[in-house]
Amino acid sequence: MTEVTKRLVETTDGLELAVYEQGPSDAPTVVLVHGYPDNHSVWDGVAKVLAERFHVVAYDVRGTGESGVPDSTAGYRLAQLSADFKAVIDAVSPDAPVHVAAHDWGSIQTWESVTDPALGSRIATYVSISGPDLGMATTWLRERTHLGSTLRQLAHSWYVFAFQLPLLPEAMVRSGLLARFVGGGSRPTKDQVNGVELYRANFLGKLLRPEPRPTKVPVLVIAPRGDDYVTVPLQTEAPRAYASSLVTQVIEGGHWVVATEPELVAGEIVAFIEKEDR
């Protein structure tokens, strides 16, 4: 069994992130970024497979697991989350670009880094699962050529608007209602409550000013066919105008496919890395 080590990495605003590493330290680095309402452990199955040949890094994003908690909603803005990602890769792979795979909100926040010209050279490949870039997604939703797909996605995203309200989401978490509607029943209540701030800090701004950015980083979008929250058309079509090297792959599975089908997901990640390394 691969040994997992833990270190703490300080962020630009003074919080500490819990970072977990396994696999050969001299191998290429793969960074795994989790979403809401998870912590790094959602990647355990995938990490175990990848660690046979890669230096695998997963971390608790701010507000979850063993990482620090911001004292305001502003602490969850995408720019800060991208700064957190940079702090992690600076610590674990200062001299070489990293491969990245991200899920749900982890994917949303990592698009911010992938499309940042200052960070593009630090990322060798990017695998996005169930988490589109908010600017790309908003622009796609505004297009009039696929009204049916847009309406289906909005129906899937009802909770995003509920999360903008004061007190209600926190009450839903503590009562167990949120777990019934959007999953997360086994996740710590603290992580579920803190994570609501991700939605409050970022969604309204992106709805008003999408401002999607391009990227030259090779991108693989893995779209689970049975995802209850992010439709296949949104995942696969929204980035087409912005990712110059884009591959899309529709797979069987639900939203938490990273936990339920770790070997499948790990295989897709490895195949994409190998393809881009040729």
Shortest CA distance to 79 belongs to which of 239, 219, 241, 198? Answer: 198
Give 61's DSSP letter. Answer: P
**Domain residues for 191?**
5-277
Task: Yes or no: say if 97 and 123 are a contact pair by the CB < 8 Å rule.
Answer: yes
Strands 16-22 and 55-59: antiparallel
State the residue for tokens 């169930």.
Answer: 130
pLDDT of residue 190: 81
Instruction: Give the burial class of 109: count Cβ atoms within 10 A of its Cβ; 0-12 exposed, 13-18 middle, 19 or more buried.
Output: buried
pLDDT of residue 245: 97
Q: Which residues, other chains included, contact 171 with Cβ-Cβ below 8 Å and sequence gap of 6+?
A: 177
- pLDDT tens-digit profile, the chain (278 residues): 679 999 999 999 999 999 999 999 999 999 999 999 899 999 999 999 999 999 999 999 999 999 999 999 999 999 999 999 999 999 999 999 999 999 999 999 999 999 999 998 999 999 999 999 999 999 998 886 777 777 777 766 666 666 776 777 787 778 777 666 666 555 667 888 898 899 999 988 888 899 999 999 999 999 999 998 999 999 999 999 999 999 999 999 999 999 999 999 999 999 999 999 87
Tokens of 51: 């660690």
What is the rounded distance in angstroms from the CA atom of residue 222 to the CA atom of residue 60?
A: 22
Q: How many domains does the chain have?
A: 1
pLDDT of residue 169: 74
Peptide bond connecting 233 to the previous residue in cis, omega within 30 degrees of 0: no
pLDDT of residue 174: 80
pLDDT of residue 3: 93
Residue 112 belongs to a domain with what CATH number?
3.40.50.1820
Prediction pTM value? 0.92
pLDDT of residue 148: 72
Shortest CA distance to 136 belongs to which of 43, 241, 221? Answer: 241
Residue 226, amino acid = G
